[in-house]
């Protein structure tokens, strides 16, 4: 069975990370809620392709992302709207806008399909970034699994101030942002536990159990967020 391994790293990697990454890769390959397994793996391939896309580079360098026009260097048969979403979320997330999101919807990209794209792109970016940070090559993408997406849309979602509808409730918005596609929330939770903390420990400022203390972890988190110009 396919498994992500970090044996090539110059340092030993605790086992919960490759185990969680392997499960994330298995979910990536399987049919999702709005996309097939093949489409989800194509979204992952486009996520990686954004790094060498000339239009993405030009936009990233421009004062306004709208100043650069043209076609993305695409590696799939996904729609133009899907490719635009994947490349922009991957390459320039800090300058996305509600108008941009609304434009994608007007091109036929449904809100739930879009949320699943956000989940897949962010997962692939994160696992690739982890590998790069410890000095190992990107993992090969998994073989897509057959089957149809479930197309189940939760009813307990509504307008809670985000571009996309999401669950209400006491959790922080970022924990509910993907709730239009519950499978992506579960994926977020499982990766969050091994990369950072579980949702129940995030607000415990004394939380430990890692080789870094909480202040060191928050410095890393804050610096990455600021470099990406993430307001949240």
Beta carbon nearer to another protein, 74 or 122: 122
Question: Helices 111-134 and 80-91, interaxial angle, to 10°?
Answer: 40
Least separation in angstroms between CB 146 and another protein: 25
Beta carbon nearer to another protein, 71 or 132: 132
Tokens 């990369």, residue located: 195
Beta carbon nearer to another protein, 146 or 206: 206
Least separation in angstroms between CB 158 and another protein: 14
Beta carbon nearer to another protein, 3 or 219: 219
Q: What stretches of 67-222 adopt beta strand conformation (E)?
A: none
- Please give the structure tokens belonging to residue 170: 């006491």
Beta carbon nearer to another protein, 44 or 115: 115
* Distance of alpha carbon 71 from alpha carbon 39, whole angstroms: 20
Least separation in angstroms between CB 132 and another protein: 7
Least separation in angstroms between CB 15 and another protein: 11
Q: What backbone torsions phi and psi does residue 158 show, to the nearest 5 degrees?
A: -165, -175
- Please give the structure tokens belonging to residue 135: 């000095």
Q: Give residue 90's Cα distance to chain centre.
A: 8
* Distance of alpha carbon 177 from alpha carbon 93, whole angstroms: 15
Least separation in angstroms between CB 37 and another protein: 21
């Amino acid at each position: 069975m396919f498994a992500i391994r970090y044996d090539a790293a110059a340092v030993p990697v605790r086992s919960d990370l490759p185990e969680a990454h392997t499960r994330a890769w298995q979910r990536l390959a399987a049919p999702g809620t709005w996309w097939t397994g093949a489409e989800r793996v194509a979204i992952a391939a486009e996520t990686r392709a954004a790094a060498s896309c000339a239009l993405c580079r030009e936009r990233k360098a421009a004062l306004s992302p709208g100043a650069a026009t043209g076609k993305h260097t695409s590696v799939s048969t996904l729609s133009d709207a899907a490719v635009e979403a994947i490349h922009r979320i991957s390459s320039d997330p800090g300058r996305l806008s509600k108008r941009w999101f609304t434009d994608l919807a007007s091109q036929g990209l449904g809100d739930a399909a879009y949320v699943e794209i956000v989940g897949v792109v962010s997962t692939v970016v994160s696992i690739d970034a982890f590998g790069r940070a410890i000095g190992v090559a990107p993992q090969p993408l998994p073989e897509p699994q057959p089957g149809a997406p479930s197309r189940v849309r939760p009813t307990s979602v509504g307008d809670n101030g985000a571009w996309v509808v999401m669950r209400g409730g006491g959790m922080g918005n970022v924990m509910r942002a993907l709730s239009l596609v519950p499978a992506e929330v579960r994926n977020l939770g499982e990766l969050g536990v091994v990369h950072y903390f579980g949702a129940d420990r995030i607000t415990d400022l004394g939380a430990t159990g890692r080789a870094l203390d909480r202040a060191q972890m928050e410095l890393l988190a804050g610096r990455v967020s600021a470099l990406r110009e993430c307001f949240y």
